[in-house]
Amino acid sequence: MNWKELHEKFFTTLSNHKSLLIYIKGSPDPDVIASSWMLKRICEKSDIKAEIFALKKPSLPQNRAIIEKLDIPIYFEDPGMNMGRFDGYAVLDFQSAYLKGISEKLPCVFHIDHHEPVHEDIDVECKISSGAVGAASTIMAMILKESRFAQDEDLMRSIGTALVYGIQTDTDNYKHARDVDFEALSFLSRYSDKEIINKISGIPLSDGMVDMIGKAIRNKIVYKGWLIAGVGLIKESVRDSIAIIADFLLQEEGVSTVIVFALVETRDHKGLVLDASFRTEDRDLDLNYLIKRITSEGGARQYKGAYQVNMDYFVHCPDRELLWQTVSVTTIEVLKKQRDNIYIAELKGVYNKFRKKIISFINRGVVLFVGVTLLGFLFSCGRKSVVNRSITPVSGSAVEVKNDGCAVIRSRLVDVAAEYVDEKMWEQFLKQRVFIKQRSKEDAGIRYPRLQFFQLMVSNVSDRAVRISEIALAYGNQKKNRSHLMS
Ligand SMILES: [Mn+2]
């Protein structure tokens, strides 16, 4: 990310405004608290009025403590009545920038986030969204680092501690921090109060949470390396504990992914929502994709995610135990199905990683495309024809085709998942000169034969090593074995 450019965009946008509503969506965690506060402080230093509003109070004691200890001004109320005071609003550390009742009246000035970006029809004056950083606080710190405020001792001392704590919690105590997070931390560390941070993150777990952990351990099931645990009906005030318990259970041996779920009673027993929290150590698992396949009311970034299902209607169910049993068996069934079809989500994760790697190779001028380009001539078709062709797998006795076009072949030893990668997904690739074979001036920019890309994942499902003795590509009567392919 080009921080110099982003910092210019940020401050140019800011200078066009006189007053800003900073809105915390969801439950306030250290990352959103710190980044919102930094925005407010920068506004004040630039003679712009700014107020932070949140509808929910933080349910974790350490999140309440950071607000109290650092004296962070947040209004825990609906900003509705005060909206006239602002000429724009900002949403930080949240996938969606849409605010019901506010987006219709005020322009969205800033949307700064580090979750996987989602597409939405909302104009944002300055949108900074990247899944490649560990925390929104990292983005804010990197912008600050480029600015003239980096030398402002008073400002840096007031927000340094909060930003460090924000990065620390969102990267699971630096376990998942990346280079850019460490860069931000080294810039901030001089201004942060370690004693406060240690004191706050060392706060012991509350009684309610200990109960929930006990329940999770008693109810857990382990299915093909996934640990799934329901913790029953809980109050909204302890909702954040679901994620903490998932973190805790991930330490268990032989478990790569943990899902903890609960029925949460909201709005003084008037509302009901199923809340499921995901944690994974599987680098290749595209959690965001997996969760979106279950419901659109959820999402993820690398290693963690969550989804919600509104159950308000069932608030009238007189038998709470029966209701929980129904929710519990259904959720376990849904998750087991996802586990059975994990190859698709893993494929997505591998693809994302592979794409990033290739692009960084291109940027360094290294060309390593043999594996991808060699498929080109085999599947070439269409030439100058105007007929649109598509490539779709055909289901058969051995081939199972998923809705999204992924073909899975299962056998005693291995499962093979194959997916066609369309040109739109490979846009980035096709823009690179190396893929464009120029025949003549008129042809410039179009490569013949056209390249077709496939990604293939082979998973060993046996408990022994499987030897692959031959790799061949077959198409009609033609067959190419590996030595042909390499030549
Ligand atoms: Mn965050």
- Separation of CA 227 and ligand 1 centre (Å): 24
Same domain, 55 and 189: yes
Q: Are strands 257-266 and 226-235 parallel, antiparallel or unpaired?
A: parallel
What is the number of residues in the chain? 487
Q: What is the pLDDT of residue 487?
A: 39
Residue-range definition of the domain harbouring residue 73: 3-201
| Close Cβ partners of 366 (under 8 Å, ≥ 6 residues apart) | none
- Separation of CA 314 and ligand 1 centre (Å): 32
Same domain, 108 and 73: yes
Q: What is the pLDDT of residue 478?
A: 79
- Separation of CA 185 and ligand 1 centre (Å): 15
Whether the CB-CB separation of 301 and 243 falls below 8 Å is answered with no
- Separation of CA 28 and ligand 1 centre (Å): 10
Give dist(CA 130, CA 3) in Å, integer.
12
- Separation of CA 121 and ligand 1 centre (Å): 22
DSSP summary character for residue 75: B
What's the sign of the alpha-carbon dihedral 205, 209, 210, 216?
A: negative
Whether the CB-CB separation of 139 and 131 falls below 8 Å is answered with no
Q: What are phi and psi of 86, to 5 degrees?
A: -110, 150
Last residue of a domain, one of 151, 183, 201: 201
What's the gap between Cα 174 and its chain centre? 17
- Separation of CA 322 and ligand 1 centre (Å): 36
Tokens of 427: 């846009």
Give dist(CA 130, CA 33) in Å, integer.
19
CA-only gyration radius of the chain, Å: 26
Whether the CB-CB separation of 233 and 314 falls below 8 Å is answered with no
Give dist(CA 93, CA 36) in Å, integer.
9
- Separation of CA 132 and ligand 1 centre (Å): 12
Q: What is the pLDDT of residue 377?
A: 38
- Separation of CA 434 and ligand 1 centre (Å): 38
Same domain, 375 and 448: yes
| Close Cβ partners of 67 (under 8 Å, ≥ 6 residues apart) | 28, 33, 58, 74
- Separation of CA 250 and ligand 1 centre (Å): 20
- Separation of CA 135 and ligand 1 centre (Å): 5
Whether the CB-CB separation of 423 and 435 falls below 8 Å is answered with no
Last residue of a domain, one of 152, 183, 201: 201
Q: What's the N-to-C CA distance of the chain in angstroms?
A: 38
Tokens of 416: 């093979």
- Separation of CA 308 and ligand 1 centre (Å): 18
- Separation of CA 136 and ligand 1 centre (Å): 5
- Separation of CA 89 and ligand 1 centre (Å): 19
Q: What is the pLDDT of residue 317?
A: 93
| Close Cβ partners of 93 (under 8 Å, ≥ 6 residues apart) | 29, 31, 32, 35, 36, 112, 113, 114, 135, 136
- Separation of CA 215 and ligand 1 centre (Å): 28
Give dist(CA 253, CA 412) in Å, integer.
26
Q: What is the pLDDT of residue 383?
A: 41
Sheet holding 453-460, edge to edge: 399-401, 406-410, 414-421, 453-460
- Separation of CA 34 and ligand 1 centre (Å): 10
- Separation of CA 95 and ligand 1 centre (Å): 10
Tally of domains within the chain: 3
Instruction: Return the closest-CA partner of residue 460 out of 469, 468, 470, 448.
Output: 468
DSSP summary character for residue 93: S
- Separation of CA 169 and ligand 1 centre (Å): 9
- Angle made by CA atoms 308, 311, 315, in degrees to the nearest 5: 140
Same domain, 156 and 267: no
Which residue do the tokens 């990065």 mark? Answer: 167
Same domain, 176 and 241: no
Q: What is the pLDDT of residue 382?
A: 38
Instruction: Return the closest-CA partner of residue 276 out of 208, 198, 330, 200.
Output: 330
CATH number reported for the structural domain that contains residue 332 in this entry: 3.10.310.30
Q: What is the four-CA torsion angle of 207, 61, 183, 21, rounded to 10 degrees?
A: 140
Q: What is the pLDDT of residue 276?
A: 97
CATH number reported for the structural domain that contains residue 56 in this entry: 3.90.1640.10
Q: Are strands 89-92 and 399-401 parallel, antiparallel or unpaired?
A: unpaired
Tokens of 327: 């929710």
Give dist(CA 137, CA 32) in Å, integer.
7
- Separation of CA 127 and ligand 1 centre (Å): 16
pLDDT tens track, the chain, 487 positions: 899 999 999 999 999 999 999 999 988 999 999 999 999 999 999 999 999 999 999 988 888 988 988 899 999 999 887 888 999 999 999 999 999 889 999 999 999 999 988 888 899 999 999 888 999 999 999 999 999 999 998 899 889 999 989 998 898 766 677 878 888 887 887 788 777 776 776 644 455 666 677 788 778 899 988 999 999 999 888 888 898 888 878 877 778 999 999 999 988 888 999 999 999 988 888 899 899 989 988 888 888 999 999 999 999 999 999 999 999 999 999 999 999 888 777 777 776 666 666 555 554 443 333 333 334 333 443 344 444 456 777 777 778 887 777 888 877 777 888 887 776 666 666 666 655 555 545 544 455 556 677 777 888 777 777 777 777 777 777 777 766 554 3
Same domain, 309 and 446: no
Same domain, 170 and 26: yes
- Separation of CA 178 and ligand 1 centre (Å): 14
- Separation of CA 291 and ligand 1 centre (Å): 18
- Separation of CA 477 and ligand 1 centre (Å): 54
Give dist(CA 32, CA 60) in Å, integer.
14
Same domain, 112 and 245: no
- Separation of CA 114 and ligand 1 centre (Å): 7
| Close Cβ partners of 47 (under 8 Å, ≥ 6 residues apart) | none
Same domain, 53 and 190: yes
Q: What is the pLDDT of residue 82?
A: 80
- Separation of CA 229 and ligand 1 centre (Å): 24
- Separation of CA 447 and ligand 1 centre (Å): 42
Same domain, 70 and 186: yes
- Separation of CA 166 and ligand 1 centre (Å): 7
Residue 219: C-alpha distances to residues 64, 262, 318, 460 (Å): 30, 12, 23, 30
Same domain, 151 and 179: yes
Number of CB atoms found within 10 A of residue 25's CB: 18
Q: What are phi and psi of 480, to 5 degrees?
A: -125, 125
The identity of residue 156, as a single letter, is: M
- Separation of CA 130 and ligand 1 centre (Å): 11
- Separation of CA 179 and ligand 1 centre (Å): 17
Residues with CB under 5 A from ligand 1 (ion): 31, 93, 136, 170
Same domain, 19 and 116: yes
- Separation of CA 102 and ligand 1 centre (Å): 22
Tokens of 132: 């490649």
Q: What are phi and psi of 66, to 5 degrees?
A: -65, -35
Give, for 54, the enclosing helix (H) or strand (E).
strand 49-54
Last residue of a domain, one of 146, 166, 201: 201
Whether the CB-CB separation of 242 and 62 falls below 8 Å is answered with no
